[in-house]
A and B are shown apart, each in its own frame.
Chain A
Amino acid sequence: MEILVCVKRVPDTAENEIEVNKDGTGIETDDLVYSVNEWDNYAVEEAIQIRDKVGGSVTIVSVGDEESEEVVRREMAMGADNGLLLTDDAFEGSDGKGTATLLKAVVEKGNYDLILTGAQADDGAGQVGGMLATMLDMPYASLVNAIEMLDDKKLKIGREIEGGNQEMSEIELPCVLSIQTGINEPRYVGIRGIRKVASIEIPVYGAGDLGLSADAIGAAGAGVKRLDYFVPELGEGAEMLEGSTEEIVEKLIELLKAKGGIK
């Protein structure tokens, strides 16, 4: 089984307070800690587990700036066999369709049976996997939380649907699946693991290597464009309790009593 896993380098929301920058053109990037998109880690772990069971290889691919190499390497340290980095100034400003177009070009250079993406990334879109599948004319399933190999032509998969219910289907290979968190427990990668893959060459592709015309990708090809960033105002906002911890605890207990929160 030849498996391709798409991963994105994103600001780590658990490590950063994400804030809009002064002129509203983006988020504040000073001191941002980046990591691999949470969902993509589960996709890589799943790919490695499948390969370990049935053989084959796992290839990691990321579209991004040069720094994205570090997340490709990190995922290789988990146990993937190959890595690829797609980087070029011409890719900047790509929308979801642009990113899918780039990934399609990579898929067509290889011979993959299974392509995995995360369910969604930092901007909460959840679009690249489904677009890629249709571009490749492959079947697709989103929010996958279980994969079982039936034979070399078919998988049995579970999709997570509302209320925690699970929708079971059979899907033909080759296919594209977007992976939901919780499908497995991604393995821990230590410094030693990273060191082990530190000297592996990661091929870098630009627009020319992928044979793509400039108007299909980047800002020029984007039908969807971000105009500005702002802080959302939903409702009135909470009344913040201030004071010493003791005072706050006292106020909170009064409120909880009044609302029936303490029995």
Chain B
Amino acid sequence: MAKIFTYITFKNGVPDDSALELVNAAKQIAPDASPTAVVVGSGIDALCKEVAASYAEVWKVDNEAFAYPNAEVIRNVLSSILPQECILLVPHDTFGMDLSPGLSIKMDTVFMPDTVGFGGLEGSMLKCIRQEYGGAVSTHVSCDITKGAILNIRPGAFQPDESKAAAGQVVDKSAEAGDLSTKRVYLETVAAEVGDVDITKEDVLVSIGRGIEDEDNIEIAEDLAKAMGAVVSCSRPIVDAKWLEKSRQVGTSGQTVKPKVYLACGISGSFQHLGGLKGNPFVVAINKNPKAPIFQVADVGIEADILDFLPELTEAIENL
């Protein structure tokens, strides 16, 4: 069985939640797996020590050149230090999406994007579970790991391993980092704009998606929000169409909200949208498609056209 490695992403010296989720992902590939964590960064001793609480072995690659993670450089690092036929687990976030497809070509292995589960290993055939069409259907996908594999793992899809009982050792691989030159140079990070309302602080959100169909219909949601004492938030297509400000977008590339009540109106329930919904709110989904994935995660579902249903609900609340 090929050795399993995990790639650790972090921010301000704190490992991402995925660091612990990947331990369990590895164990679902092989129950007795003892994966090795790879940490690439600058001044990362304390970080590596923290990661070593959950991994028997941590490979540290420390260099000032890694002060900001540049996928192009890190592809060179990983293909220099990793053994040819290994399995590498990478979180499927904006960095992992940037890193992994090219890495699989560089290392001449297979690539499995956005994996949400595993269905067993038979010989060299690893069965992976994925989703397509924004989560409307799932697939079993086989992956031939004879020559190793790069597997991108969806954040939040596996339970974190909180045991912290590994007391692992840190191995310094900095000297083997390889070529650090790059044709893509990081300049700066521009922070997201602050909007007129802060949806992250609201208890009740009336959230609209592509099902609202037209800019003029946004009023319908605003009227309902007003009646409920709530605020309007939205999914990404509404922001892409410039119907609402970016600061109203819920999701991995928008805001992380923690309301008590969330009304998802005409939202299909993609993982990038749900990734911004935290704190276990009471979710009501209103959608005209009874098979919309959002109904799998909502507490209460209503099969209806929001353009008809929301005005009725508004009127009834106003008459209370």
Query: Are A and B interaction partners?
Result: yes
User: What is the distance, in angstroms, from B318's C-beta to the closest C-beta of chain A?
Assistant: 11
Residue A139, interface by CB 8 Å: yes
Q: How far is the CA of A250 from the CA of B309 in the complex (A)?
A: 12
- Those of B100-117 within 8 Å (CB) of chain A: 100-106, 110-114
Contact (A163, B130) CB under 8 Å given A141-B184, A252-B300: no
Residue A27, interface by CB 8 Å: yes
Residue B180, interface by CB 8 Å: no
Contact (A227, B187) CB under 8 Å given A143-B97, A253-B320: no
Q: Is the interface of B mostly helix, strand, loop or mixed?
A: mixed
Q: Is the CB of A27 within 8 A of B138?
A: no
Residue B72, interface by CB 8 Å: yes
Residue A156, interface by CB 8 Å: yes
Number of A residues whose C-beta is below 8 Å from B?
84
Residue B220, interface by CB 8 Å: no
Q: Is the CB of A139 within 8 A of B183?
A: yes
- Those of B247-275 within 8 Å (CB) of chain A: 247, 249, 252-256, 260-261, 263, 268
Contacts of B104 in A (CB 8 A): 97, 131
User: What is the distance, in angstroms, from B182's C-beta to the closest C-beta of chain A?
Assistant: 7
Contacts of A198 in B (CB 8 A): none
Select which of A14, A159, A241 is within 8 A of B302 by beta carbon: A241
Interface stretch among A62-70, A106-114, A218-226? A218-226
Give the residue name and chain of the B residue nearest to A225 (CB): B142
Q: How far is the CA of A176 from the CA of B228 in the complex (A)?
A: 47
- Those of A233-249 within 8 Å (CB) of chain B: 233-235, 237-241, 245-246, 248-249
Q: Is the interface of A mostly helix, strand, loop or mixed?
A: mixed
Q: How far is the CA of A94 from the CA of B295 in the complex (A)?
A: 33
Contacts of B222 in A (CB 8 A): none
Give the residue name and chain of the A residue nearest to B138 (CB): A232
Q: How far is the CA of A160 from the CA of B95 in the complex (A)?
A: 10
Contacts of A13 in B (CB 8 A): 133-134, 136, 268
Give the residue name and chain of the B residue nearest to A155 (CB): B184
Q: Is the CB of A168 within 8 A of B190?
A: yes
Contact (A226, B137) CB under 8 Å given A134-B105, A240-B301: no
- Those of B67-123 within 8 Å (CB) of chain A: 71-72, 75, 93-95, 97-98, 100-106, 110-114
Q: Is the CB of A253 within 8 A of B298?
A: no
Number of B residues whose C-beta is below 8 Å from A?
97
Residue A210, interface by CB 8 Å: no
Q: Is the CB of A127 within 8 A of B140?
A: no
Q: How far is the CA of A27 from the CA of B121 in the complex (A)?
A: 26
Select which of A124, A134, A138, A185 is within 8 A of B132 by beta carbon: A124
Q: Is the CB of B282 within 8 A of A160?
A: no
Residue A228, interface by CB 8 Å: yes
Cβ contacts B165-199/A at 8 Å (1 or 0 each): 00000000000000000111111111111000000
Q: How far is the CA of A181 from the CA of B253 in the complex (A)?
A: 11
Q: Is the CB of A123 within 8 A of B132?
A: yes
Residue A59, interface by CB 8 Å: no
Q: Is the CB of B97 within 8 A of A142?
A: yes
Q: Is the CB of B101 within 8 A of A96?
A: yes
Q: Is the CB of A161 within 8 A of B230?
A: no
- Those of A105-145 within 8 Å (CB) of chain B: 119, 122-131, 133-135, 138-143
Residue A262, interface by CB 8 Å: yes
Closest A-B pairs by Cβ, 5 of them: A263-B229, A130-B101, A238-B301, A164-B192, A261-B261
A-B contacts, 6 listed (Cβ < 8 Å): A131-B105, A131-B111, A142-B97, A223-B144, A229-B138, A259-B261
Contacts beyond the supplied A163-B192, A237-B301: 8 A-B pairs with Cβ under 8 Å: A97-B105, A124-B113, A131-B102, A140-B98, A162-B252, A231-B138, A259-B260, A262-B229
